């Protein structure tokens, strides 16, 4: 177990270093400079020099990179060049909303895809299986942006049932229902593609498992359908699904960026876009490191879950 | 006279394939009395496994089961799935041939042994555990406490098969269907498992249907044997009679190539097991292509399963018939020229 | 069993959906005295000295009051914190009288000291904003202070900034500077809060993120990042407490969502950012009022005169290219009439603006003739850069390309991401550029047209224009000054350094419940303390 972990952590560190270096180089190669935001500053070389000096941007690139690395290792992601505020704070202000949205969507898409996928596999070739299959095809091909606008048009503009923007009604007492109403449409948008994607894997996984000999054994024991499904089928079908979910999370995250824009959701999305456009190097570095870190972390968690679901897997 | 525990009438199993219906089992009928151990012998493809699984309607969704199966007087094939479940595992236990694939790889063997008891007897897992430990030690597994927490892949083949047997016996069924219980094992293990089954047979009032391709295994355990070929029963009889005096040419060849216990796999002369698709079932006797004594009438019509001689006895209560499906023993064509070996 | 569970899940989903839809039927109307305003983005800083984006500028205008303010129609300076002023010594000294009893929101007095402190901050060597180099270096002693002040704090004195008493500030300039009064439209910072903070740290100071001590009509109460800012009325505001008690500045980057929220009654005002295509529909809605006003910005198509060996070096070529675009059509078709064709660097509302003045009208034949006369009858190629995401400018670029091709000039359009656009424009890596220009309240032409100005991006240089600009700067009499600017405009336009395209109007959509909404060309929240909501 420990050798496995230390090896994985070692790999993760290499990956994170690579990501940070690549991001750093790409950011500096891209045209533009953070001080461009101030049009007057742009034409005042003296002020620009002073501005850069105060932020240590006048030093050679490798010095900048290593000092960034040193600070990052001490948990200091630096100060945003645009917001003049610790990047860590900027991130923490925005992470909860994104996590709420992606977390709910992941949950909802699993809640939708597992029953539908199982149903589809058990009734393979039936009318409803075909209905579900066409839904998955549609679901993965509908662009988030378009679906979001469509839902807003119907549910907010036409029927006036649901709000078109934000996370809550401003100026109102806290109300769970109000939060849920705001959460509903973005969650639907973000869940549709993921659910459609997951359904395919659940269906294929369950279909494969129910062909297995040990399912005949379970039936021969006279177990109830639900017991067979939950104890024998799903536990086995969960294995490939765990991998699929962990590989899908970055896509969910990317999808959330667009969805956040459409529904004016106060998450990471806007910050990521604006930080990139304004060449806010420390923010961009921190975001990339964070995303790379999360992806690595999820892969590790997936491996652990794998082991806990499948006793045949042992990490050494 | 006792009623038969299991009575099978005209059982047929058809598998739907792209090429058409594949008749795995066609019109077989037999009875099993309480405490009786019956062998069902045939080569692979003869339909013996399909026949045994179809008794509990366990064939896959593509398999269609016809005919009637009376267990204790109840036609279980007409029961709704919900009621049929009460027979599976509780009244009739099943041992499968390949314990590696028939055990769930992600559940501990403890859970797999306990779950039929929890399901049928509605007892707690704790109570089920007591019995599971008892069953495992009965099967000769030492250290059963530890074994309960292990997973199938951690066990050796022999232990796995013992686990499989414990599972089948968990709810003390009245009939045990053992589908090739020794095939996947090496010779020493085969012997141990046979010994185990023999002991179980002596200790419990349970009837056993032993499905095997290995006449020797059957000889070790059974009172009576049914020989299947091409989805049909071709001969039945007491185990000693069959070995002493095989009637059907197929039985005869089985007995001939079955001299010793060490032999694991064998092959009959002639072609591989025939695929009896509806389209290419030969007219006449199904064994004709491989029969050394084929005659004109064998190619004409299929012979019926014909009773030969009187009833035999096992123990003290039930009777059986010697039956054979061969033109040589049909009415009017009875053998005069030669006596079987 | 499975079917049953599927059914239960389906029913649950349906019930939830129904519950949502019924409860959602009555969208909440805002309580009385509450105004919800939309914005496409979040403010970056709330410190008025470091504002570089429009969102920050908007929020800062709620929270901070400036010394003076320009009138929304005449652009003349009007009293704010300073209620009266005198300009003496032929425009060299400014005597500013502050209102009596002004208070910061923490109850401390707001005095001339705070204004002097703020001026020192802007002249401090560690200050990285642009105000010193553009506006305040002409103050006596400011250059010295900027170059030689050796404390990290904005302490000490600048010779030309004298606090006569609590309510009087005297500013002395090296020489008369006509636009200087308009430079006093800055918002002072509280010295008692920031006086001990090193100037280099003010931009990142807590005060810039959450100013607790402010001077404006509203006080910041809540800030949910990227969601909204809540501001409540300042009961001690010098004009009296504003009518509207609470303002929610809602951040809604999706323009369609803004409209729907307005129509659904979840928003009372969309300032500036209404899409022109939507205006027609909105005008039919009885609950929505559309407002529009001219702004002090214009879009232009500039000729790069810094590059040598291009046909654009020749004035006649530039004049010819100035004749090919039908700007009236551009305003009608692309701006849907929400704008005016501009003919020179002076924009409407500024006092020297002459509505009669006209520059080139479209004349393809004449343009072709000129190109032939100058020896370019075979045409040439030009590279035009424009920033991505601005539909109107991209359309203008296409119209120009189309028109140019008719006189044999091939225009290659490069649509660039904002930072790449800025980089290219700064490096002069283009022949033609479509961009925008803010003029400010004062008609001063120094920044864009004086040959020595660093902001003169296109490289325009005409000694006569330099002369006129310099003359105008020291001319305090308005009519006289206006005449000089009109002269300068004629010279500049004759040189055809750019094609002035249009000044775009700001279009606002407001709930009909909102009264007294009077947008200023540079600030939609002008005199917000007078607004009312029914």
Confidence band (pLDDT; 50, 70, 90) for B320? low
Q: Average the pLDDT over A280-285 and give the result.
A: 90
* Residue C485, pLDDT above cutoff 50: yes
Question: CB–CB of A166 and C250 under 8 A?
Answer: yes
Name the residue with higher pLDDT: B309 or A212: A212
Chain A nearest-CA distance from B110, in A, is 14
Predicted ipTM of the assembly = 0.86
Chain C residues whose beta carbon lies within 8 Å of the beta carbon of residue A283: none
Written as six digits, the tokens of C496 are 């055809």
Give the nearest chain A residue to C126 (CA atoms): A50
Touching subunits of A (3+ CB pairs, under 8 Å) are: B, C
- Residue A82 forms contact with C (CB below 8 Å): yes
Q: What is the pLDDT of residue A37?
A: 66
Give the number of A-B residue pairs with CB atoms closer than 8 Å.
81
Beta pairing partners, B41: B212, B227
Is residue B71 within 8 Å of B33, Cβ to Cβ? no
Q: Which residues of B touch A311 (CB under 8 A)?
A: 105-106, 108, 151, 153-154
SS3 of chain B: helix, strand, coil, percent, to 5: 35, 25, 40
- Helix%, strand%, coil% for chain C, nearest 5: 35, 25, 45
Question: Chain A residue with minimal CA distance to B164?
Answer: A217
> What is the per-residue pLDDT for A173?
80
Of A127, A247, A240, give the one whose Cα is nearest residue A194: A247
What's the pLDDT score for residue A202? 93
Query: Given an 8 Å threshold on Cβ–Cβ distance, is A222 in contact with B89?
Result: yes
Average pLDDT on C487-492 reads 96
Q: Report the alpha-carbon distance of residue C60 to residue B165 in Å, rounded.
A: 81
Comparing CB atoms, the residue among A36, A161, A278 nearest residue C20 is: A161
Cβ proximity of A201 and A241 under 8 Å: yes
A266 with C224: Cβ contact below 8 A: yes
Choose, out of A214, A223, A231, A241, the residue to mutate when testing the contact with B (most B CBs < 10 Å): A214
Higher pLDDT, C171 or B293: C171
Q: Are B18 and B85 in contact (CB under 8 A)?
A: no
* Interval A221-245: pLDDT, tens: 989 888 899 899 998 888 888 888 8
Top-confidence residue, C219 or B278: C219
What integer pLDDT is reported at residue B265 of this predicted model?
40
Q: Residue B203: its pLDDT value, please?
A: 84
pLDDT at B263: 40
Q: Which residues pair with B228 in a beta bridge?
A: B233
Q: Name the pLDDT band for A295 (thresholds 50, 70, 90).
A: confident
Q: Checking DSSP bridges between strand B175-179 and strand B92-95, what pairing results, if any?
A: parallel
pLDDT score for A188: 93
Measured from the Cβ of residue C369, the count of other Cβ atoms closer than 10 Å reads 14
Strand partners, C339: C504
Average pLDDT over chain A reads: 87
Q: Give the pLDDT score at C323.
A: 93
Taking each helix axis from N to C end, the angle separating B125-138 and B157-169, rounded to the nearest 10 degrees, works out to 130
Q: How confident is the model at residue A141 (pLDDT cuts 50, 70, 90)?
A: confident
Instruction: Please tell me which of the candidates C2, C34, C419 has its beta carbon nearest to residue A122.
Output: C2
- pLDDT score at B310: 56
> What three-state secondary structure class fits B20?
strand
Chain A interface mutation, best of C30, C53, C128, C133, highest count of A Cβ atoms under 10 Å = C128
Q: How many Cβ atoms from other residues are within 10 Å of residue C261's Cβ?
A: 26
Residue-level pLDDT at B243: 81
The whole-angstrom distance between A16's CA and the closest CA on chain C is 27
Q: Is the pLDDT of residue A40 over 70?
A: no
CB contact under 8 A, A160 and C264: yes
C454–A47 CB contact, under 8 Å? no
Arithmetic mean of pLDDT, C484-500: 95
In this prediction, residue B316 has a pLDDT band, given cuts at 50, 70 and 90, of very low
Cross-chain residue pair C133–A84, CB shorter than 8 Å: no
State the pLDDT at residue C43.
93
Q: Which of C25, C44, C258 sits opposite A83 (nearest CB)?
A: C44
Which residues from chain A sit within 8 angstroms of residue C247, using beta carbons?
A: none
Q: What is the pTM of this model?
A: 0.83
- What local confidence, expressed as pLDDT, does residue B315 receive? 45
Which residue in C467, C505, C506, C498 sits closest to C343, CA to CA? C498
Q: What is the pLDDT of residue B244?
A: 81
Nearest 5°: the CA angle B153, B154, B156 is: 90
CA–CA separation, C326 and C364 (whole Å): 10
Which residues of B104-243 form beta strands (DSSP E)? 175-179, 207-212, 224-229, 232-238
Confidence of residue A43 (pLDDT cuts 50, 70, 90): low
**Which pLDDT does position C469 carry in this prediction?**
95
Q: Which of the two residues, C197 and A276, has the higher pLDDT score?
A: C197
Nearest C-alpha neighbor of B88 from the set B64, B115, B67: B115
Residues of C in contact with A30 (CB under 8 A): 419-420
Residue pLDDT, tens place only, A158-193: 888 899 898 988 877 888 899 999 999 999 999 998
Residues of C in contact with A50 (CB under 8 A): 125-126, 128
Residues of B in contact with A216 (CB under 8 A): 53, 58, 96, 102
Quick one: pLDDT band at residue C243, thresholds 50, 70, 90? very high
Q: Which of B169-173, B312-316, C59-63, C376-380 has the lowest mean pLDDT?
A: B312-316
Report helix angle A61-73 to A2-29, nearest 10.
140
Domains along the sequence of chain A with CATH: 2-73 (no CATH), 94-309 (1.10.3720.10)
Contact assignment for B102 to A214 by CB distance below 8 Å: yes
Three-state SS for B155? coil
Nearest to A84 among C20, C203, C420 (CB): C203
pLDDT surpassing 80 at residue B277: no
C239: which 2 tokens? 């004009």
Question: Nearest C-alpha of chain C: how many angstroms from A289?
Answer: 22
Residue B274 has pLDDT above 80, yes or no: no
pLDDT at A240: 85
CB contact under 8 A, A213 and B90: no
Chains near C with 3+ CB pairs less than 8 A apart are A
Calculate mean pLDDT across residues C235-261. Answer: 93
- pLDDT tens string C387-442: 998 889 999 999 999 999 999 999 999 999 888 898 888 888 999 999 999 888 99
Residue B118 scores a pLDDT above 80: yes
Cβ atoms C86, C184 nearer than 8 A: no
The two tokens of residue A55 are 């932020």
DSSP C122-180: HHSTT--SSHIIIIITTBTTHHHHHHH--SSSS-S--TTEEEEETTEEEEEBSS--TTH
The answer, yes or no, to whether residue C57 has pLDDT greater than 90, is yes
CB count, 10 Å around CB of C401?
Answer: 17
Looking at residue A42, its pLDDT comes to 64
* Confidence (pLDDT) at B259: 53
For chain A, say whether B90 makes contact (Cβ under 8 Å). yes
Please report the pLDDT score of residue C441 as a whole number: 92
Q: Provide mean pLDDT across the span B32-53.
A: 85
Q: How distant is the alpha carbon of residue B27 from its chain centre?
A: 16
Q: Which is more confidently placed, A165 or A32?
A: A165
Q: Which residues of A touch C15 (CB under 8 A)?
A: none
**Is the CB of A53 inside 8 Å of chain C's CB atoms?**
no
Average pLDDT over residues A101-118: 93
- The superfamily in CATH containing domain B6-91+173-331 is P-loop containing nucleotide triphosphate hydrolases (3.40.50.300)
A235 has a chain B CB within 8 A of its CB: yes
Is the CB of residue B119 less than 8 Å away from at least one CB of chain A?
Answer: yes
Question: Please, which residues bridge with residue C293 across strands?
Answer: C506
pLDDT value of position C3:
58
Is the model's pLDDT at B283 over the cut of 80? no
DSSP 8-state secondary structure symbol assigned to residue B302: P
Q: Does A205 lie at the interface with B, CB-CB under 8 angstroms?
A: no
Please report, for residues A86, B15, B17, B23, B94, the alpha-carbon distance to residue B26 in angstroms, rounded to integers and kept in the order given: 80, 12, 16, 6, 22
Confidence of residue B287 (pLDDT cuts 50, 70, 90): confident
DSSP type of residue A86: B
Using CA of residue C325, residue C329, residue C333, residue C338, what is the dihedral sign? positive
Going along chain C from its start, the domains and CATH numbers come out as 34-40+220-294+507-533 (3.40.190.10), 65-207 (3.90.76.10), 297-504 (3.10.105.10)
Pairing of strands C77-79, C68-70: antiparallel
Return all residues near C117 (Cβ < 8 A) that are at least 6 apart.
Answer: C154, C188, C189, C191, C194, C195
Handedness of CA C119, C120, C125, C128 (dihedral sign): negative
pLDDT at C185 over 90: yes
Domain boundaries, chain B: 6-91+173-331, 104-172
Count of other CB atoms within 10 angstroms of residue A135: 17
The Cα C292–Cα C272 span in angstroms is 8
Q: What average pLDDT does range C66-84 have in this prediction?
A: 94
Q: What average pLDDT does this structure show over C39-62?
A: 92
Q: How far is C363 from chain A (nearest CA, A)?
A: 35
Displacement of CA B29 from its chain's centroid (Å): 13
Handedness of CA C211, C214, C216, C220 (dihedral sign): positive
pLDDT higher than 60, residue A137: yes
Q: Which two tokens stand for residue B165?
A: 């047997």
Label residue B322 by pLDDT band (50, 70, 90): confident
Q: How far is A119 from chain C (nearest CA, A)?
A: 7
Contacts 24+ apart (CB under 8 A), A157-160: A157/C260, A157/C263, A157/C264, A159/C21, A160/C24, A160/C25, A160/C27, A160/C264
Tokens of C437: 């220009």
Q: A29 in contact with B at a CB cutoff of 8 Å?
A: no
Does the pLDDT at position A96 exceed 70?
yes
Record: contact C27-A79, CB cut-off 8 A: no
Bigger pLDDT: C498 vs B256:
C498
What are the residues whose beta carbons fall under 8 Å from the beta carbon of A302, sequence distance 6 or more? Answer: A242, A243, A245, A246
Can you tell me the distance from the alpha carbon of B10 to that of B7, in angstroms, rounded to the nearest whole number? Answer: 10
Task: Please say if the pLDDT value at position C212 is more than 50.
Answer: yes
The C-alpha atoms of residue C138 and residue B284 are separated, in whole angstroms, by 120
Q: How many CB atoms lie within 10 A of CB A111?
A: 14
Question: Which of C11, C12, C136, C227 is best to mutate for the A interface (most A CBs within 10 A)?
Answer: C227
Of C31, C254, C454, the CB nearest to A261: C254
């Amino acid at each position: 177990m420990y050798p496995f972990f230390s090896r994985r952590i070692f790999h993760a560190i290499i990956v994170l270093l690579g990501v940070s270096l690549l991001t750093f180089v790409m950011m500096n190669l891209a045209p533009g400079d953070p001080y461009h935001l101030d049009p007057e500053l742009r034409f005042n070389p003296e002020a620009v020099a002073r501005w850069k000096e105060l932020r240590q941007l006048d030093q050679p690139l490798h010095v900048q990179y290593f000092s960034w690395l040193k600070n990052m290792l001490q948990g200091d992601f630096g100060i945003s060049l645009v917001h003049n505020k610790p990047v860590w704070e900027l991130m923490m202000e925005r992470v909860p909303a994104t996590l709420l949205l992606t977390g709910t969507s992941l949950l909802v898409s699993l809640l939708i895809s597992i029953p539908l996928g199982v149903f589809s596999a058990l009734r393979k070739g039936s009318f409803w299986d075909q209905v579900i299959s066409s839904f998955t095809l549609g679901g993965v091909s509908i662009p988030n942006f378009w679906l979001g606008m469509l839902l807003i048009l119907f549910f907010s503009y036409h029927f006036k049932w649901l709000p078109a923007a934000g996370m809550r009604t401003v100026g109102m007492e806290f109300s769970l229902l109000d939060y849920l109403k705001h959460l509903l449409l973005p969650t639907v948008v973000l869940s549709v593609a993921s659910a459609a994607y997951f359904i395919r894997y659940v269906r294929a996984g369950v279909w494969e498992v129910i062909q297995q000999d040990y399912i005949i054994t379970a039936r021969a024991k006279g177990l109830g359908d639900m017991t067979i499904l939950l104890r024998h089928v799903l536990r086995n079908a969960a294995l490939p699904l765990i991998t699929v979910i962990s590989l899908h999370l970055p896509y969910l995250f990317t999808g959330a960026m667009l969805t956040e824009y459409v529904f004016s959701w106060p998450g990471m999305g806007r910050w990521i876009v604006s930080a990139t456009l304004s060449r806010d190097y420390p923010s961009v570095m921190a975001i990339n490191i964070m995303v790379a870190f999360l992806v690595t972390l999820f892969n590790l968690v997936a491996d652990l879950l794998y082991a806990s679901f499948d006793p045949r897997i042992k990490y050494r | 006279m006792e009623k038969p525990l299991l009575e099978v009438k005209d059982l047929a199993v058809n598998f739907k394939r792209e090429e058409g219906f594949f008749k795995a089992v066609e019109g077989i009928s037999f009875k099993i009395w309480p405490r009786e151990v019956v062998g069902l012998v045939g080569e692979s493809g003869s339909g013996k496994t399909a026949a045994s699984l179809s008794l509990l309607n366990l064939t896959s969704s593509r398999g269609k089961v016809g005919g009637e199966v009376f267990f204790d007087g109840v036609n279980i094939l007409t029961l709704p799935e919900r009621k049929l479940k009460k027979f599976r595992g509780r009244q009739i236990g099943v041992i499968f041939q390949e314990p590696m694939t028939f055990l769930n790889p992600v559940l501990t063997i403890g859970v797999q042994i306990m779950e039929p008891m929890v399901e049928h007897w509605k007892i707690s897992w704790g109570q089920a555990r007591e019995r599971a430990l008892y069953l495992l030690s009965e099967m000769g597994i030492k250290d059963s406490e530890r074994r309960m927490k292990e997973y199938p892949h951690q066990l050796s083949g022999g232990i796995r098969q013992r686990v499989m047997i414990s599972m089948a016996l968990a709810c003390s069924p009245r009939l045990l269907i053992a589908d090739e219980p020794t095939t996947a094992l090496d010779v020493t293990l085969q012997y141990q498992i046979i010994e185990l089954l023999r002991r179980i047979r002596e200790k419990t009032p349970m009837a056993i249907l032993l499905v095997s391709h290995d006449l020797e295994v059957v000889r070790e355990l059974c009172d009576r044997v049914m020989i299947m070929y091409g989805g049909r029963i071709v001969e039945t009889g007491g185990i000693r009679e069959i070995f002493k005096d095989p009637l059907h040419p197929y039985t005869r060849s089985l007995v001939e190539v079955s001299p010793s216990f060490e032999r694991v796999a064998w092959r009959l002369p002639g072609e591989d097991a025939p695929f009896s698709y509806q389209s290419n079932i030969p007219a006449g006797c199904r064994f004709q292509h491989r029969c050394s004594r084929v005659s004109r009438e064998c190619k004409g019509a299929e012979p019926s399963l014909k009773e030969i001689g009187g009833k035999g006895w096992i123990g003290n209560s039930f009777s059986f018939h010697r039956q054979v499906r061969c033109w040589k023993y049909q009415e009017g064509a009875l053998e005069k020229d030669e006596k079987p070996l | 069993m499975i079917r049953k569970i599927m059914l239960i899940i389906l029913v649950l989903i349906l019930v939830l959906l129904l519950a949502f839809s019924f409860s959602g039927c009555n969208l909440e109307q805002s309580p009385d005295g509450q105004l919800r305003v939309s914005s496409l983005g979040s403010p970056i800083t709330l410190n008025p000295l470091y504002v570089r984006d429009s969102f920050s500028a908007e929020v800062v205008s709620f929270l901070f009051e400036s010394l003076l303010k320009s009138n929304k129609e005449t652009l003349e300076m009007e009293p704010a914190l300073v209620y009266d002023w005198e300009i003496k010594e032929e425009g060299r000294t400014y005597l500013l009288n502050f209102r009596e009893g002004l208070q910061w929101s923490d109850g401390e007095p707001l005095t001339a000291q705070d204004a002097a402190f703020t001026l020192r901050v802007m002249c401090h060597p560690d200050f990285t904003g642009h105000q010193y180099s553009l506006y305040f270096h002409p103050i006596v002693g400011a250059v010295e202070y900027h170059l030689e002040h050796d404390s990290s704090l904005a302490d000490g004195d600048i010779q030309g900034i004298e606090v006569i008493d609590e309510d009087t500030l005297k500013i002395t300039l090296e020489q008369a500077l006509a636009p200087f009064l308009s430079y006093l439209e800055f918002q002072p910072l509280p010295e008692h809060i920031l006086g001990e903070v090193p100037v280099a740290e003010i931009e990142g100071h807590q005060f810039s993120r959450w100013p607790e001590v402010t001077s404006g009509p509203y006080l910041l109460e809540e800030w949910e990042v990227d969601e909204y800012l809540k501001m409540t009325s300042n009961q001690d505001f010098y004009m009296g407490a504003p009518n509207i008690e609470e303002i929610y500045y809602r951040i809604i980057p999706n323009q369609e969502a803004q409209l729907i929220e307005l129509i659904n009654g979840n928003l009372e005002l969309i300032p500036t950012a209404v899409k022109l295509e939507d205006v027609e529909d909105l005008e039919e809605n009885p609950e929505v009022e559309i407002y529009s006003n001219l702004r002090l910005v214009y879009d232009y198509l500039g000729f790069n005169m810094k590059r040598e060996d291009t046909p654009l070096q020749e004035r006649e070529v530039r004049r010819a290219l100035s004749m090919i675009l039908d700007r009236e059509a551009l305003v009608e078709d692309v701006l849907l009439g929400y704008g005016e064709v501009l003919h020179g660097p002076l924009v409407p509302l500024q006092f020297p603006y002459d509505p009669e003045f006209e520059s080139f009208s479209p004349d393809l034949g004449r343009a072709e003739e000129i190109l032939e006369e100058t020896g370019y009858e075979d045409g040439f190629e030009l590279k035009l850069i424009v920033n991505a995401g601005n539909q109107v400018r991209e359309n203008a670029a296409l119209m120009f390309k189309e028109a140019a091709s008719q006189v044999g000039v091939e225009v290659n359009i490069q649509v660039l991401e904002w930072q790449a656009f800025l980089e290219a424009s700064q490096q002069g890596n283009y022949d033609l550029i479509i961009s925008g220009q803010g003029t400010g309240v004062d008609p001063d032409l120094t920044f864009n047209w004086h040959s020595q100005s660093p902001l003169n991006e296109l490289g325009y240089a005409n000694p006569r224009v330099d002369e006129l600009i310099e003359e105008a700067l020291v001319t305090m009499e308005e009519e006289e000054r206006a005449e000089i600017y009109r002269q300068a405009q004629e010279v500049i336009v004759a040189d055809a350094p750019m094609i002035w395209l249009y000044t775009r109007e700001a279009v606002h959509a407001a709930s009909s419940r909102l009264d007294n909404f009077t947008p200023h060309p540079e600030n939609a929240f002008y005199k917000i303390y007078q607004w009312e909501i029914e």
